[in-house]
Structure 1
Amino acid sequence: MRVRAVAVLAASLLLTSCSSAEEPPPPPGQQPAPTTTSSAPLFDPPRGFTGESKLVGRSPYAIAGDAVVSRDPEREQPTMTVIGLDGTPRVEYPVDIPKKSKASGPYSAADGSLVLMAVAQTVEGTGTNPDRTRYTVTAHNPGTGAKVWERPVDASAEVPLPDSNPRIVGANRDIVVVTANLLKEAATIALSTVDGTVKWSKPGIFATGLANDVVVGYRYVNSLSSEPVGLSATDGAQRWSGPRFDGTLESNFSRPRLVGDGLASFAGTPAGELTKNVTHLLDTTTGKPRLSLDSLWTCLSDDQSLIVCGKTYFNYQLAGFDATSMAKLWELPDAAATRTIPKLVAARKGVAYVTAKGPMTLNARSGKDLDPELDVDALDAVAPGYALGVVSGKVYARRAAR
């Protein structure tokens, strides 16, 4: 039997969260990556940037604590690099990506301390046995680069695996969530974070995130419609289903995503309404809509008490909401209609990071300008003490001065 690589790589970082004395230690082999120490404070949210931008990786990338993990495309041997946000190289290690395969990722996930990678391959059948798809998921220690575990998962009659790129969309101390879809065919697999053992798998479900003990995603009802669903992270049992949509939920204007810890965003055409689009923010515990907006919006949590939503479909709009009451706090354009509507990039701790004539910030609670200009060449993401930007495929980080 020969294994022929035909598809893709997906990688994911389980970010190590700050733990108190009451929290259990990480499982063996999952010690956090080393971090640099500095007497200078890390301003959070970061504003007012200074010094030179440091090259920290290539796009696509993932932020792991105070480091960036990415794959170096210029190496003959595929290599993952871990570089501190201050530009200091941490560790690099080879990864197994078969030739002629397409690579994507890494993808950010939740807390932990493993670098995860999923490769899709076609296993050639023999005789009357047809070809089948195999996903191989591997986990590495981000501090040392050592492989912790590797787990092949073959397609079966019960759970056929789409011949497309698998994504790792979430992970915690218990499970890693792997998912893929292709032309209305989808599958979601939950693996043990400790050793990669398959805990459960579900056909027809395309997962979009892991919110505490709920795997959020959507199910294809038929060839024309789909509906959001929430599955138990423990056994994959369905907990809820949300409002049904016609057509695709994966558009260039708004993709399904988690919004903070307790909300999930889904946008598309409501079932039976051909000329209307809507964005629902669903409670990840119950599946009930907490907020509904006309048109296609991208919504982000500031990880505290605010949600900022932006629309780039036809007419630009921007609005801020209280994350508890869902009351609208402000919107652009406002009554005066004299301000340029910026594009939403990120939100963090009361600050909305946007681009107008260039990168700038808004007060996420009032919508008023904070920093009319940010001294960064590009703005793609923010982390404690740093802003990150992508220029010609290279990822740069610049330290915040306040």
Structure 2
Amino acid sequence: MPDEVRASDVLLDGTVYYIAGNYGLEADALYGHKTVGIANATHGGNLHSPPVLAQAGGQQVVLTAVRMVIQGQGTSVDRTAVELVALSTSKGSDSWTIPIDLPQDYTGIRSLTVLGVRGTTAVIAGADADHGLVWAVDLATKKVLWTQKNFTGAQLTDDQVVGLVSPEYTKHQVSALKIADGSAAWTTEQTYDLLDTTLTPAGPNRVAIQGRSFVGFKSSAWILDSTTGKQIFEFSGGSTPFGCAYDERSVTVCADKDIAFAFDTASGKTLWRLPDDAKTRIAPRVTTAWHGVVYGTTPRGPVALNAVTGQDLPSPPTLAPLIVNTYMGIGSPDADGTALSVYPAIGF
């Protein structure tokens, strides 16, 4: 794959992989290695979101958001904007874009995420160094329905967007907005007093809020039910932020450079944790999880674990994929995740 592509830029759908970039979207076929679709942003961008799969207007599409600078004309100044770019998965030439204006105080936006689509409404989250921002966009009319400042969006539930609000610099609460109109649905009573706080998805209807406390700078995390804000369990140890991967069956595995643990997504029950209490096993560097298997690496090479039990599978893969589905995996032999290559699934 091109040198500049990272795993977060790629989405797998059957035998086609989609690559998001500052230009928009490109669809390539696993078999034949040819481009089967392109959706270009109207202006060259300088930041983009990971691609996501969604249902929109009765068809399946891949979406990305691109931040761009639109040059002024005459006496008008340049302005920063965001554009939503869509590419149909059934018709590679069927694509469209929606321009989104940025508030003047958010022109330094540093991150973009398309959280998903509910009905005909797409929800996009962005953040600058200090504040979050969420837009709801009607895909039918191609209009922005509402914008919420000071809200860091993380995940969609059935009819809500769940995110982080920070009334003070180190005071954080998890909150939810109604997708229909942006009004408040609920806010957790608990306030998390943390440094370097993040809120990230942790499986279906689960989010992880994590950060460092002021006392000893201890790292802690809480898994919450993102439909209600109810706390499922608390976790401490290791270093944050850790990342979580859902295996698309029943297990979410979370890991950082020191630890790895898995929990049943429905019940919140912890299934296993590494290193184990007896210190007989180490934690792998988890790369992804899919359909009952956790992939990762150790100093001795790639490993595959049973997602439910945490036990090593008898036949380790030759490569730990960063993304995988039934047909293909994308991975890299390099520790930093560069030089990505596409492999048939049997080739691991």
Scaled by the length of structure 2, the TM-score of the pair is: 0.81
Residue-by-residue CA offset, 1:8-64 (whole Å, 9 max, x unaligned)? xxxxxxxxxxxxxxxxxxxxxxxxxxxxxxxxxxxxxxxxxxxxxx99x94332223
| 1:389 alignment partner, one of 328, 331, 335 | 331
Counting only pairs closer than 5 Å after superposition, residues 1-400 of structure 1 correspond to structure 2 as: 58-59=5-6, 60-70=9-19, 78=23, 80-86=25-31, 88-93=33-38, 95-96=40-41, 98-99=43-44, 101-111=45-55, 113-122=60-69, 133-146=80-93, 148-156=95-103, 160-165=105-110, 167-172=112-117, 173-242=119-188, 243-250=191-198, 256-270=199-213, 273=215, 275-295=217-237, 296=240, 297-312=242-257, 316-356=258-298, 357-376=300-319, 378-390=320-332, 392-400=338-346
Q: Over aligned residues, Cα RMSD in angstroms?
A: 3.4
Partner Cα distance (1:136, 1:364) in 2: 38
Structure-2 change in CA distance of 1:137 and 1:283 (3 Å): same
Structure-2 change in CA distance of 1:61 and 1:87 (3 Å): farther
Q: Is the 8 A contact 1:218 1:227 kept in 2?
A: yes
Which structure has more relative contact order (CA 8 Å, sep 6+)? It is 1
Query: 1:6: which partner in 2?
Result: none
Partner Cα distance (1:230, 1:137) in 2: 23
Shift of 1:105: 4.0
Q: Is the 8 A contact 1:138 1:147 kept in 2?
A: no
Partner-residue secondary structure (3-state), 2:245? strand
Shift of 1:98: 3.6
Shift of 1:239: 2.0
Partner Cα distance (2:24, 2:82) in 1: 20
Structure-2 change in CA distance of 1:165 and 1:176 (3 Å): farther
Partner Cα distance (2:289, 2:223) in 1: 17
Q: Is the 8 A contact 1:302 1:349 kept in 2?
A: yes
Structure-2 change in CA distance of 1:129 and 1:273 (3 Å): farther
Structure-2 change in CA distance of 1:266 and 1:110 (3 Å): farther
Shift of 1:282: 0.8
Specify the code of the residue in structure 1 equivalent to 2:196: T
Partner Cα distance (1:260, 1:111) in 2: 19
Partner-residue secondary structure (3-state), 1:163? coil
Shift of 1:192: 1.7
Q: Is the 8 A contact 1:58 1:395 kept in 2?
A: no
Partner-residue secondary structure (3-state), 2:253? strand
User: Can you give the 5+ residue segments of structure 2 that lack an aligned partner in the other structure?
Assistant: none
Shift of 1:68: 0.9
Q: Is the 8 A contact 1:63 1:108 kept in 2?
A: no
Q: Is the 8 A contact 1:168 1:176 kept in 2?
A: no
Q: Is the 8 A contact 2:251 2:265 kept in 1?
A: yes
Shift of 1:151: 2.5
Partner Cα distance (2:141, 2:20) in 1: 24
Structure-2 change in CA distance of 1:302 and 1:321 (3 Å): same
State the identity %: 23
Shift of 1:130: 7.5
Partner Cα distance (2:247, 2:17) in 1: 21
Partner-residue secondary structure (3-state), 2:317? coil
Q: Is the 8 A contact 1:282 1:289 kept in 2?
A: yes
Partner Cα distance (1:111, 1:374) in 2: 34
Shift of 1:368: 1.1
Q: Is the 8 A contact 1:169 1:209 kept in 2?
A: no
Shift of 1:299: 3.0
Q: Is the 8 A contact 1:345 1:380 kept in 2?
A: yes
Residue-by-residue CA offset, 1:271-310 (whole Å, 9 max, x unaligned)? x646322111110111111121014343333222223232
Partner Cα distance (1:110, 1:359) in 2: 32
Specify the code of the residue in structure 2 equivalent to 1:85: L
Partner Cα distance (1:149, 1:310) in 2: 37
Scaled by the length of structure 1, the TM-score of the pair is: 0.71
Specify the code of the residue in structure 1 equivalent to 2:254: C
Q: Is the 8 A contact 2:47 2:68 kept in 1?
A: no
